[in-house]
């Protein structure tokens, strides 16, 4: 009789625990990051008698958290790859849409200018036709300006997103270190708390969303160490190593990310080695897609304006005076490295031959031991230069150097002669009479259009490599478009891969509502059966008491 009571009491206790675990699964089935809890039911033991072996009932041997480290690691990798492509695509799509806008882009405005010139060539003295050219020059400059400003806006937006990504990343690593600390305190109690492990895995996914990581897990305590792909730790136990954003020493318009070690020393991340996560996507967009678009657009603006200025200067205005510049290009300015110790600054940078100018980042640095200056290109190669009384000359440029007394060893200055040309371009002539259509200084020769005919031939000249201005723009549109299509295609594949790995993880550790409903019915029947067993024991006891 007593054994029946023990069996029923134990069964009811197990059933209640099982219902509680099932209820936990059902109520948290929609909670982000929740892992299914599985009840482990085992025998309580028993005893051997002359009649045979009799069991003592059932007991709860534990509650297991459904978890697969490999599946979680695979999902984190898929999240990092998707976030990399998505971060890049969000920005790249903006450039693609701007350049490929068939109704309003640089190529359309350039074509309109040549159409206006062609109309003027038939009647060079016509005021309306001359005004059309004047307006077309202004529209072209405005189109370059708008495109350049939009790219500058994208650079600022990218910087802001990089700063936010780093801020989020530092927040997640701090939270993860705190969870590691709590898991360490809970280690002595046996099984790590399942809710902390769920929060740990959610944070690891959030970190993976921002940057690719390597994760090492202590299976016994549940604590994790997180490192960058190059091995430097982000989280080590309860210690956190932060990332920090700042402006680049060489370019105040560029936000860089530095790793802060245990001594507080800051080392800029090698952006080329960050290949996964949203940060990688933003770096790739800024260093490749945005850089390409800005460089090519500035080059087109610089070369177009310089060539048209040259040709207009070779003609004559209606009043017989020589023609001047049609466009004004922004001054070429050099950036002093923020680590410079001296007070010297580069002087005026002039263009001596626009055909020899390259769209390249030059660095001019002072070598105190040699008492001379060194000019290097973007790839670090030495660039020879000629020295004159008023500075140095190379690649179609003349540069005034600072007094050696005002600079220190290693001081450097950086500039790209074409940088900002699109955004800073403006129409210089103030009225329609500033266009030099004639090649004669005789005001009476009003029908002369010889210089205008040479101006029209500019549209067919191979000014940028082996391409005309229109071909160069079409090439840029094609390159950006190809990049956008490639990234978009890869993004679709990455999203499919991420969903597949998420489904795999969910199949292993997620909650199936249908399965839990079946478990609920099963454990309710189990509970009722044990309650019936208890009722049977009571009935038997009552029957004994009823015997007189």
Asked whether residue 271 is assigned to any structural domain, the reply reads yes
Q: What distance in Å separates the CA atoms of residue 345 and residue 400, rounded to the nearest whole number?
A: 9
Written as one string, the DSSP assignment of 472-523 is: HHHHHHHHHHHHHHHHHHHHHHHHHHHHHHHHHHHHHHS--HHHHHHHHHHH
Handedness of CA 231, 237, 239, 245 (dihedral sign): positive
Nearest alpha carbon to residue 147 among 94, 197, 189: 94
Q: How confident is the model at residue 12 (pLDDT cuts 50, 70, 90)?
A: confident
- Own/partner contacts of 523-529, CB < 8 Å, gap of 24 or more, are 523/15, 523/18, 523/19, 523/22, 524/19, 526/11, 526/14, 526/15, 526/18, 527/11, 527/12, 527/15, 527/16, 527/19, 529/11
Q: What distance in Å separates the CA atoms of residue 109 and residue 106, rounded to the nearest whole number?
A: 5
339 in the same domain as 309: no
Q: Is the pLDDT of residue 49 over 80?
A: no
Average pLDDT over residues 41-55: 79
Alpha-carbon distances of 79 from 33, 83, 204, 214, 466, rounded to whole Å: 14, 6, 11, 13, 43
Is there a contact between 278 and 210 (Cβ–Cβ < 8 Å)? yes
Asked whether residue 490 is assigned to any structural domain, the reply reads no
Is there a contact between 95 and 290 (Cβ–Cβ < 8 Å)? yes
Asked whether residue 489 is assigned to any structural domain, the reply reads no
Tokens at 541, concatenated:
């006891």
**What digits encode the pLDDT tens for the residues 337-362?**
888 899 999 999 999 999 999 999 99
Q: Is the pLDDT of residue 544 over 90?
A: no
Tokens at 19, concatenated:
């219902």
Q: Is the pLDDT of residue 1 over 60?
A: no
24 in the same domain as 134: no
What's the confidence (pLDDT) of residue 186? 84
456 in the same domain as 412: no
What's the confidence (pLDDT) of residue 2? 55
**What digits encode the pLDDT tens for the residues 395-436?**
999 999 998 889 999 999 999 999 999 999 999 999 999 999
Asked whether residue 503 is assigned to any structural domain, the reply reads no
Q: Residue 54 CA to chain centroid, in angstroms?
A: 67
Asked whether residue 249 is assigned to any structural domain, the reply reads yes
Which residue range(s) make up the domain with 40? Answer: 2-66+510-546
Q: How confident is the model at residue 169 (pLDDT cuts 50, 70, 90)?
A: very high
Number of structural domains the chain divides into: 3
Nearest alpha carbon to residue 473 among 293, 261, 252: 293
What's the confidence (pLDDT) of residue 429? 97
Average pLDDT over residues 66-79: 95
Q: Residue 271 CA to chain centroid, in angstroms?
A: 11
What's the confidence (pLDDT) of residue 156? 95
- Own/partner contacts of 92-98, CB < 8 Å, gap of 24 or more, are 92/285, 92/289, 92/480, 92/483, 92/484, 92/487, 93/484, 94/150, 94/154, 95/151, 95/154, 95/289, 95/290, 95/293, 95/480, 95/484, 96/480, 96/481, 96/483, 96/484, 98/147, 98/150
Q: Is the pLDDT of residue 548 over 70?
A: no
Written as one string, the DSSP assignment of 230-277 is: TS-EEEETTEE--EEEEE-SS-TT-EEEEEE-TT--EEE--GGG--SS
Q: How confident is the model at residue 51 (pLDDT cuts 50, 70, 90)?
A: confident
Is there a contact between 83 and 211 (Cβ–Cβ < 8 Å)? no
Average pLDDT over residues 163-183: 96
130 in the same domain as 20: no
Is there a contact between 114 and 455 (Cβ–Cβ < 8 Å)? no
Tokens at 250, concatenated:
């060489």
Average pLDDT over residues 226-255: 92
Nearest alpha carbon to residue 113 among 93, 90, 92, 135: 135
Average pLDDT over residues 478-498: 96
250 in the same domain as 168: yes
The backbone torsions φ and ψ at residue 536, rounded to the nearest 5 degrees and listed phi first, read: -65, -40
**What digits encode the pLDDT tens for the residues 195-238?**
999 999 999 999 999 999 999 999 888 999 999 988 999 999 99
What's the confidence (pLDDT) of residue 494? 97
Asked whether residue 492 is assigned to any structural domain, the reply reads no
234 in the same domain as 109: yes
Nearest alpha carbon to residue 277 among 179, 162, 197, 175: 162
Asked whether residue 488 is assigned to any structural domain, the reply reads no
Strand partners, 63: 39
Q: Three-state secondary structure along 405-442?
A: HHCCCCCEEEECCCCCHHHHCEECCCCHHHCCCECCCC
List CB contacts of 516: < 8 A, sequence separation 6 or more. Answer: 22, 25, 26, 29
**What digits encode the pLDDT tens for the residues 91-145?**
999 999 998 888 789 999 999 999 999 999 999 889 999 999 999 999 999 999 9
Q: Is the pLDDT of residue 31 over 60?
A: yes
**Measured between alpha carbons, how far apart are the two ends of the chain, in Å?**
19
Which of 11-15, 261-265, 375-379, 533-537 bottoms out in mean pLDDT, i.e. has the lowest?
Answer: 533-537
168 in the same domain as 23: no
Tokens at 147, concatenated:
């495109």
Q: What is the CA radius of gyration of the chain?
A: 37
Tokens at 471, concatenated:
């071909």
Asked whether residue 35 is assigned to any structural domain, the reply reads yes
Average pLDDT over residues 295-299: 96
Q: How confident is the model at residue 486 (pLDDT cuts 50, 70, 90)?
A: very high
303 in the same domain as 211: yes
131 in the same domain as 17: no
102 in the same domain as 251: yes
311 in the same domain as 239: yes
What's the confidence (pLDDT) of residue 529? 86
What's the confidence (pLDDT) of residue 88? 96
| Average pLDDT value over all residues in the chain | 92
344 in the same domain as 252: no
Q: Is the pLDDT of residue 55 over 80?
A: no
């Amino acid at each position: 009789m007593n054994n029946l009571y023990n069996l029923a009491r134990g069964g009811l206790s197990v059933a209640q625990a099982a219902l509680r675990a099932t209820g936990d699964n059902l109520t948290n089935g929609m909670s982000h990051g929740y892992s299914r809890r599985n009840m482990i039911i085992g025998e309580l033991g028993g005893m051997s008698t002359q009649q045979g072996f009799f069991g003592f009932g059932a007991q709860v041997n534990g509650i297991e958290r459904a978890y697969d480290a490999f599946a979680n690691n695979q999902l984190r990798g898929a999240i990092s790859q998707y976030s990399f492509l998505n971060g890049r695509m969000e920005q790249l799509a903006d450039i693609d849409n701007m350049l490929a806008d068939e109704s309003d882009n640089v190529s359309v405005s350039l074509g309109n200018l040549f159409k206006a010139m062609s109309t003027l060539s038939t009647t060079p003295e016509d005021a309306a036709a001359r005004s059309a050219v004047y307006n077309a020059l202004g529209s072209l400059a405005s189109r370059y300006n708008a495109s350049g400003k939009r790219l500058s806006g994208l650079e600022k937006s990218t910087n802001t997103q990089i700063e936010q990504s780093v801020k989020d990343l530092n927040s997640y690593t701090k939270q993860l270190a705190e969870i590691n600390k709590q898991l360490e305190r809970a280690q002595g109690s046996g099984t790590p708390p399942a809710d902390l492990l769920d929060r740990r895995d959610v944070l690891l996914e959030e970190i993976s969303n921002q940057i690719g990581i390597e994760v090492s897990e202590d299976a016994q305590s549940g604590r994790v160490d997180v490192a960058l792909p190059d091995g430097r730790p982000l989280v080590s136990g309860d210690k956190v190593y932060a990332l920090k954003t700042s402006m680049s020493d060489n370019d105040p318009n560029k936000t860089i990310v530095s790793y802060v070690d245990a001594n507080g020393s800051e080392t800029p991340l090698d952006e080329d080695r960050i290949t996964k996560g949203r940060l990688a996507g933003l770096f790739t967009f800024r260093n490749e897609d945005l850089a390409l678009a800005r460089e090519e657009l500035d080059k087109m603006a610089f070369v177009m304006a310089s060539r048209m200025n040259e040709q207009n200067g070779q003609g004559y205005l209606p009043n017989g005076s020589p023609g001047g510049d049609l466009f004004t290009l922004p001054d070429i300015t050099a950036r002093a490295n923020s680590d410079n110790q001296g007070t010297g600054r580069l002087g005026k940078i002039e263009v001596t031959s626009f055909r020899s100018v390259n769209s390249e980042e030059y660095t001019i640095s002072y070598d105190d031991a040699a008492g001379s200056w060194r000019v290097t290109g973007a790839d670090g190669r030495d660039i020879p230069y000629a020295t004159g009384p008023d500075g140095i000359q190379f690649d179609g440029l003349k540069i005034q150097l600072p007094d050696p007394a005002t600079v220190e060893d290693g001081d450097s200055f950086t500039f790209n002669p074409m940088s900002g040309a699109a955004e800073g371009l403006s129409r210089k002539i103030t009225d329609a009479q500033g266009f030099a259509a004639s090649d004669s200084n005789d005001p009476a020769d009003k029908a002369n259009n010889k210089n205008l005919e040479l101006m029209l031939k500019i549209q067919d000249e191979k000014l940028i490599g082996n391409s005309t201005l229109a071909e160069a723009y079409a090439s840029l549109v094609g390159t950006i478009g190809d990049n956008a299509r490639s990234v978009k295609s890869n993004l679709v594949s990455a999203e499919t891969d991420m969903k597949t790995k998420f489904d795999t993880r969910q199949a292993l550790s997620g909650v199936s509502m249908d399965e839990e409903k079946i478990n609920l019915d099963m454990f309710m029947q189990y509970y009722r059966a044990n309650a019936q067993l208890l009722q049977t024991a009571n009935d038997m006891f009552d029957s004994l008491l009823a015997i007189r």
